[in-house]
Every structure is written in C-alpha cells, then in structure tokens.
Structure 1
Amino acid sequence: MPNGYFSLILHAHLPFVRHPEYPEFLEEDWLYEAITEVYLPLVFIFQNLHESGIKSRLAINVSPPLCEMLSDKLLETRYTLHLENLIELAQKEVERTGESEPQFSDAARMYVKNLTASLRLWNDKYNRNLVNAFRQLQEEGVLEIITCGATHGFLPLISTTEAKRAQVEIAVANYKKHFGKSPRGIWLPECAYEPGIENLLKDAGIEYFIGDSHALLYGEPRPRFGVHAPVRCPNGVAVFARDVETSQQVWSAEVGYPGNVVYREFYRDVGWDLPLDYIKPFLHANGERRNLGLKY
C-alpha cells in the first residue's frame, strides 16, 4: 500500500485584457508572454508525455478570463503577429551577439529555435486555440481541468452572497461552454476561503476546492494530517490546501527557484538593455521601451 499521494495542481489565470480600439496594447503582452513561456510549452509537454505512454495525471485550473482570451480570434491573430515579430528580433540577435557579445550567442540561437517551433505548433498543431488543446488532453485522461472565480474575485471581500454566488455559477457556466461538461473542482481566487463558501460551491455542483494552508490548519476540528490530506466540509465538499514549502519553492526569491543564479533574470530584457534605435522596429508605435521577451 502506498504511503501517500502527491497532487500536482497548476493555477493558470490572467486578468482579462482585450482592446480592439487600439492596434496594440501594452497589457495584452502579458497574455502573449504567458502563451509563449507557459501555456504552449505545457500543452506540448503534456501531449508528448501522453503520446509516449506516460501517465502524467495532474490537475490545472484554467480561469474563465483566460479561457475567453485564449479562444478570442482577435487575440489569436495579434499573438501570431507578436510571435513573428519576436522571431525576427531573435534572428537579428543571433547576428549581433555573434559579432559583439558571443557569450549570449547560444541563448540567441536557442530563442530562434524555440520560437520558430512555437509558431509551428501554434499554427499547425493547435490551430491557434489552446483551449481546445487543453480540452482534448482532458478528454484523453491526461489532465483534470478545474475552474476559478468568474473574474478571479476575492470571495471573502465580496459584499453580498448573491455576488459571490455569481462568481461561482458564471465560472461553472463558462467551464461548460469551453470544456463541454461541469467542473468537479475549483481553485478559489487567491485561495481565499471563509465559512459558507462551501455551500455556494455545493449548490453549483462543485465537489472540491483548493484553498490556502490556513483555511485548513485553522479549521475546527484541526485536521489530523495538516495540509497533507484533504478534508471534507460538513456538507461533503472536500478541500485541498496548498503546501507552504512547495509554494515557496515556486514563488520565493530568497529560498525558491526565482532567486537561483542558474535561472534567467526575468526583469533583464533586451527591450531595456539594448540601444533604442536597434530595438525600435520591434516596439509599439509609440516607441516606448517595454519587455520584448528576450532575456539573457
């Protein structure tokens, strides 16, 4: 008999940003960067594992705002242009680093290779729609996809029960729209819980939720195994709590991966490091510096 089980649950969310009234918009870059750096590689890795016969069983929350953006035709088109622009910059960087900064040449070539592969996957394999790709993975038994609040609203601070209920019920409806069935679980926005939320979840057909560690540790009665085992609320809805130490490995700049010297410095970007005249063709029309996505 196994001693226990490890539950890997990923949280995928971005605020909804879509500005058709402008030809380009800074905050939309958040989505494009996340597609390139996170969502596209994840789908590709999950699919490769599945096709290799490896059962990667895990859960991922894809929030309603993110579902809407990932299935929006305007944003799909704009992301394609963004990726093509980034490939052109990376190719230019191969030439520049080869001549003046050879210590970055390998990284520049890596960007060309990876970004070109990303464009091919985006256009040819996933037909520019990652929501459908996630749905297929769920239908094939690779992932369990759960939902989040409709707008990622912080439930304990929402003033009325009706508004809290709307966050849950609209999230369930959005999930059905994109994934063709009801969600079993929900990642509470910011993992924030207060007594009574489980009743709203049960009314919406939710079987379990993800909460922060103290939502479980300060419960009555105190859980025997702390955050290392799920518990059921009196109404039968189960709660899984985040493990603090694991979360620190992901988020903490002091003890986690982000602060380790072998990782890229996220805030160092060629959009700020290189001369303005050199990068200007790759900036927005206003010519203001911004993160372009190539980091050494």
Structure 2
Amino acid sequence: MTEGTFCLVLHSHLPWLAHHGAWPVGEEWLYQAWAHSYLPVVDLLERFADEGREDVLTLGVTPVLAAQLDDPYSLRGVHDWLGNWQLRAHSASPRLPDLSAREHRASQWALEKFESRWRHGFSPVLRSLVDSRAIELLGGPAAHPFQPLLDPKLRAFSLRTGLADTRHRIGSTPEGIWAPECAYAPGMERGYAAAGVRRFLVDGPSLHGDTAAGRPVGDSDVVCFGRDLEVSYRVWSPKVGYPGDPAYRDFHTYDHPSGLKPSRVTGVHVAPEDKKPYDPSAAAAAVERHAADFVDTVVKRLRTLREQHGKPSLVVAAYDTELYGHWWHEGPAWLEAVLRALPAAGVHVTTLRGAVEAGHVGAPVEIHPSSWGAGKDWHVWNGPQVADVVDLNAGVQRELLDLDLSGATRNPVADQAVREALLALSSDWAFMVTKDSAADYARYRAKVHADRFAELAAALRHGRGQERAAELRRVDGPFGHLDARGLA
C-alpha cells in the first residue's frame, strides 16, 4: 500500500507576444521563459521518458503558447536571443568572472539543446512525450480567454478551436484542459462534455478545500480536480514559499551592463546594491532541503487525508510552468529532486488521467462561480479596475456575434477578424491591469486587437479587406486552421 497519490500539474502559458514589442514586455518575456523554463523542464521530462517512466506529470500547454513555440519568426528570435545571452556572458568576464563562466555554461547548454531538439518547433518534442505517456497533455481554449465572461456560443467556438489546434500539432486531442485562470461558471461542464473534455482544473476553494479526489460536476461525467493549497503553497503563495529563500538567485536584481543576475535573494527588505553574490553551492543545499520538506509535506497531507476518508487519497499541486527556471532559477532542479524522491517515500506519482484510472473520483459536486485569482472570485478580470477592458471586450463580442460569417468557402478577412477578436479577449490583459504589471502595455494590446477586429469587420461588411487581412495575418497569425464559419 502506498501513502497515496500525488499529481503535479504545470500550466504553460504566455499571451501572444510575437511582433508586439520586445522589452521590457513583449518578445523578451517569451524568450526568457523559453530559455530558462521550457528548455530545462522539457529536458527533464525527456530524461524521465528515456528511463521508461510514465505519467510523470500533467503538462498544460495553451494553444496560443504552442503557436509561438512552433512559429518560424519566434524560433529565429529565440535562437538570436540565446546567442546574445552567450555574448552578454562573455562581456561580463572582466568584472564578474565567476558569473560570466556560469552564464557561459548555461547559455552554451541552452544553445546546444535548442539546436539539436527545438529547431523545428516544440510540437515534435511534445508529441514524443505524449506518445510515450511520459506526460498527460492538457489543452485549452484558443487564446486563453476568461471563459465565464464569454458568450456561450463564442466560448464553445474558442474551446473547439483550441482543441483542434492541439490536435493538428500533436496528432491527438487532449481529454483534459487547464481552464484559463481556473475560472468556472455553473453550466460550463456541459460545454466541456460537448467538446469531448473529460477533466479540468479548479482551485481548492472552489471545492471548499475537499480536494482529496476528482469530482464529477453536476449531472455530467466531466471530472474536476482541485488544487490542494496546503501543499501547493509550500512552493508559492502570495506571501511565502521556497523561491524567497535567501540562498536562491534573486530575479529582480540585475548587473545592468550585461543584463545578467549576479545576486542571491539575501533578504526580503535588502536593497539591490546590498544583496550578496549568488553562491551555487548554497542554492543547491537549499534545493535539497526544500525538496525534502515538500516530500515530507505531501506524505503528511496524504496520511491526514487517509485518516479523514478511510482510504488512500489524492493530492494535486498545480503551478505555472514559468515559475520553474524563469521566476525561480533553481526550480527545475527542485522539480527533479521532488519527482525522484516522492516514489521512494511511498507516494504514487501520476497524472490526472492516472488518478482517474486509480479510482480517485468521488461524489458529484456543484461548484459556485470561482477562479484561482485573488479572492478566488472573478474581480481580477471584471472588477472596477478593469471596467474599460470589460466594456471593450463586451463590444467586441457583440459585434463579432452580429457578423454574417456564413459562406460556401473560407473568407480570409472573416478568419482574421475572428483571430483578432480572440486575441483581444485574452484574460492576460485584465490580469496585468489589475495587478499593475505592465498595465499600459496590456491596455494597449487589448485595444489594438479590438481596433483591428473592428477595422476588418467593417471591411467584411463591404466585401473588402483582403490585403489588410493578409498584412495582419503576418503579424497576428496563430491558429492557421481557424475557420470563421464555425461561428455562423
């Protein structure tokens, strides 16, 4: 008998950034996450696959991110960025020789990994992980909208488009999705069932903390899994978590001439100029300590749940993939240590699919409107701080649903109009405004896509816009299979 079952779920997502600025927000964000999170996390998964391990973790990859990781423009861009990283490492050598050597090794590894495995995009790499059952892949709606605020017709179209996009790239349609922002409104499970979705994620409070098993929603057979916050917050919470340890590399402190990060966290209230130099050996010791603590936390939680329920139970811990390596430099090393130590501690490590197969499904549940945002409600995406974005989105939806999108053949103007509307409705823009994280950029992005949609919608009504649609398609071109007639 095992202690119980553990599922690690990673959510990989960035909004559409290609062709929309470089720094400090824009393509730089994509390339940093690619270099520091996606390359090392996928390398870890490939090594587990080579060892013959199955159901290592559940990996969500949103369609809009997958589109960028396969896009020739982005592939050229990240390759240039990796080369520039190595040049920046060399430039720091006279002033910071240890940092320079360390960053040279890291950039060389990333260049070799990219050139040998990623030159044709992410999909061939991801498909091998899916086919070998090393992971369970989660999909999602096309451009990561906040689904409860979408008209049901548009919500269904966005989900169908996203699932079809994953099928085109991977060769199979995911049975599970990461619902954007873990957002839920009553009745959404019926739309999931109609699209073939069999499982999705919510946050723990959506299930009143009763996350020890998956739960069918309402009278459907669609199963929701709740994030166990007691365990998940050991890693990352609004106030505490492992990444804040004084020994870890500080994300926010730069050596400005090179753009490299030379310091350790040192202390929460320590000024950047007073932070101590990064010490890899101290950071490695912290990784070992925190991995052991996390395994101990999981085991204790599973034992408590078994006492409560009288049988082996389930713990689901879910995080953004970008935490591992990008925000938390040592995150990939911690991830590997945990995934190797948990089985040795008697914990069955599997995917959400594996949890269902193992029988971790409880009684049906009714869920209230919720999300994983602050307050666990919807205010991050529809509160007073983003009233302008909400109004803009509502107008886009009304005009989109009023368009005549029927026709005997595909219309590239209609297709691009719908594409721009989906990009305008991304949940990222409201999130960034509410959190005051590059709010001006977020408002600009929502507005520019809404304006482009309105321009194409007007041209469509007059039978024009072919040249403009082709021009915009070169800039905003995800979801090439998108057929606007699916909304008719």
- TM tier, smaller: 0.7 to 0.9
- Within 5 Å, which residues of 2 pair with 1:146-295? 146-158=138-150, 160-217=151-208, 226-233=210-217, 234-252=219-237, 254-271=239-256, 274=257, 279=258, 292=259, 294-295=261-262
Question: Residues 37-76 of structure 1 correspond to what in structure 2 (within 5 A)?
Answer: 37-55=36-54, 57-76=56-75
Tell me which residue corresponds to 1:289: none
- Of stretches 1-10 and 175-184 in structure 1, the one that deviates more from structure 2 is 1-10
**Contact 2:11 2:61 (8 Å CA) reproduced:** yes
> Compared with structure 1, are the counterparts of its residues 123 and 195 closer, same or farther at alpha carbon in structure 2 (3 Å cutoff)?
same
Whether the 8 Å CA contact 2:251–2:261 is kept in 1: the answer is no
Q: Decide whether the 8 Å contact of 2:54 with 2:135 is kept in 1.
A: no
Note the C-alpha offset of 1:109.
Answer: 1.7
Q: Which amino acid aligns with 1:203?
A: A
| 1:91 partner letter | H
Shift of 1:169: 1.1
Task: List gaps (5 residues or longer) in structure 1.
Answer: 99-104, 219-225, 280-291
The alignment's C-alpha RMSD in Å is 1.9
Shift in alpha-carbon separation, 1:7–1:227, aligned structure 2, 3 A: same
1:18 matched to which residue of 2?
18
Question: In the alignment, is the contact (CA less than 8 A) between 2:211 and 2:225 conserved in 1?
Answer: yes
Q: Does the 8 A contact of 1:49 with 1:56 survive in 2?
A: no
Question: Of 75, 92, 101, which residue of structure 2 is paired with 1:109?
Answer: 101
| Alignment CA distance shift 1:295-1:202 (3 Å) | farther
Query: In the TM superposition, what whole-angstrom CA distance separates every residue of 1:92-115 from its partner, at most 9, and x where no partner exists?
Result: 2233213xxxxxx1x332211111
Higher RCO (C-alpha under 8 Å, 6+ residues apart): 2
Contact 2:75-2:119 within 8 A present in 1 as well: no
- TM-score (norm: length of structure 2): 0.51
Pair member with larger Rg: 2
**Percent same amino acid among aligned pairs?**
29
Measured at CA, do residues 269 and 131 of structure 1 come closer, stay the same or move farther in structure 2, by a change above 3 Å?
farther
1:295 shift after superposition: 4.5
CA deviation map 1:144-176 (0-9, x unaligned): 111122211111222x11121122111111111
Number of residue pairs matched by the alignment? 261
TM-score (norm. length: structure 1): 0.82
Q: 1:217 to 1:167 in 2, by over 3 A?
A: farther
Distance 1:81 1:269 in 2: 21
CA distance in 2, matches of 1:258, 1:136: 31
Given residue 100 of structure 2, which amino acid in structure 1 is its aligned partner?
Answer: A
Letter matched to residue 5 of structure 1: T
> Aligned to 2:240, what secondary structure does the other structure show?
coil
Please, which runs of 5 or more residues in structure 2 have no aligned partner? 264-488
Counterpart in the other structure of 2:136: 144
CA distance in 2, matches of 1:95, 1:252: 39
